Amino acid sequence: MPSPYSALFAAPGSRAFSAAGFLGRMPLSMMGIGVVTMISQLTGRYGLAGALSATLALAAAVAGPQVSRLVDRYGQRRVLRPATLVSLAAAALLLLAAHHGWPDWVLFVACAGIGCVPSVGSMIRARWAALYRGTPKLHTAYSFESVVDEMCFIFGPIISIGLSTAWFPEAGPLLAACFLAAGVFWLTAQRATEPEPHPRDQRGGGTALRAPGLQVLVATFVATGAIFGAVDVVTVAFAEEEGHKAAASLVLSVYALGSCLAGVVFGLLHFAGAPERRWLLGVCAMAVSMIPLLLVGNLPLLAVALFVAGLSIAPTMITTMSLIEQHVPRTQLTEGMTWVSTGLAVGVATGSSAAGWVIDAAGARAGYGVPAVSGAVAVAVGFLGFRRLKRPAPGRGGSVGQHSEREERHMA
C-alpha cells in the first residue's frame, strides 16, 4: 500500500481498531442483501423482501443517531455492547421466523430490532479524528476508511448471496450477525484509542442535525441511498431473470470495486479550493452514471456500467466526511457522521422498497428507473442547499484539505 496509507498505522492501536472496524462493518453489506436473497429464496416475493430490507434500513435510520449521540456522551464501550446485543437477538428472531414460516409481521418486528445495530464506520472515523485531527493524515484516514467500506461491499454480497443460494437461505444473514458480534466486541475491548466522551458538552446541546450544512448533506444522501438500495434489489432480480441469480453478488462487487479503486487514488491527492464544489460534482456524477443502467441488456454490460458508476462513490463520501467536520461541533462528530449514514439508510429503505414493487409489477429492467430518478433528486437537493454548505459553523476551522494546504505552505 502507498506510503501515505502506511503512515496512518504508526499510531499505537490503529491497526487493531481498523481491523475490528472491518469485521463490524461487514453486516452493512451483507444483512440487507442477505434478507432480500433469503426471503426471495423462501417465498419468491420480491415485494416482501424489499419491504423487509426497507424496514431494516429505516429502523437503523431511527436508532443509529440516538446510539451515536449516546456514544458521544458516554463512550463507545458503554453504549455499543448493549445496542449490539439487542440487534443480535432480533437477528436470531428473524432467522427463526423465516425458517419456520411465521407470519409476516414477525419478520417486520425482527427487522426493526436489527436496526439497533451501531454505525461502526462512524465509530472508526471518530477514532481516526481523535488521532489526526487538523493534519493531512485525516484526509488519508477518511479515504482509507472509504476503501474499507467498499471492500466490505466487494466481499459482503459475494459471501451473503453465495452462502444463501449455495448452502441454505438463512446462511448469509447468519454470518452477518456473527461478523457484527466479533467486530463490535473486539473494537470496544480496545480502550486506549477510544475517543473521550463529552457528557457535560452534550447536556442541553441539542442534536447535531440542527446545523444547516448537515441538513443538506443528510437530505441529499437520502436520495443517494435510494440509488444504492434500488441497485441492490434490481440487480438480484435482473440476474435471476437472466438465469444466473448467484452472479448478482459478482456484479454488485464490481460496483463496489469501482468505488474502492477511486477511493485509493483520491486519498493520495490533495486538493485546493472549496470541498463543497467537489462534493456537488460527485453527486452529479453519481446521478449521471445511473442512466446507462436503463440501456443494458445482459449481465456483462451491467457489470461494466456499474463499475463506471462506482467510480464516483468513494470520492463523494470522503468529501462528505470532511464537510461534516466543518458543520458540526467536535463533541458531536460521531452523531454528525451517523446522521449522514441515517440519510443513506432512509434512502436505501425507500429505494429498495420502491424497486421491489416496480420489479413485481413491471420486471427488473423497469426497476432501474428507480435509481435514475433518485439520482436526479439528489442533484436537485444538492443544488438547492449548496449555499448552506458554503457557510461552515462558527469556530469549526477548515476542512481536512484546508488544513493540509496550510501546513504545506507553513513547511515551505
* 3-state secondary structure (DSSP) of residue 196: coil
pLDDT at 393 over 80: no
* 3-state secondary structure (DSSP) of residue 309: helix
Q: What is the mean pLDDT of residues 111-121?
A: 86
Among the CATH numbers 3.40.1710.10, 1.20.1250.20, 3.60.21.10, 1.10.260.30, which is that of 12-196+208-411?
A: 1.20.1250.20
What CA–CA distance (Å, rounded) separates 394 from 212?
Answer: 12
Residue 237's pLDDT is 86
Whole-prediction pTM: 0.73
Of 139 and 218, which is predicted with more confidence? Answer: 218
Alpha-carbon dihedral 222, 228, 234, 237, rounded to 10 degrees: -130
pLDDT digits (tens, 9 = 90+) for 335-350: 788 788 778 877 877 8
- Nearest 5°: the CA angle 139, 317, 12 is 40
pLDDT at 402 over 50: no
pLDDT at 202 over 50: no
Ordered by start, the domain boundaries in the chain are 12-196+208-411
* 3-state secondary structure (DSSP) of residue 373: helix
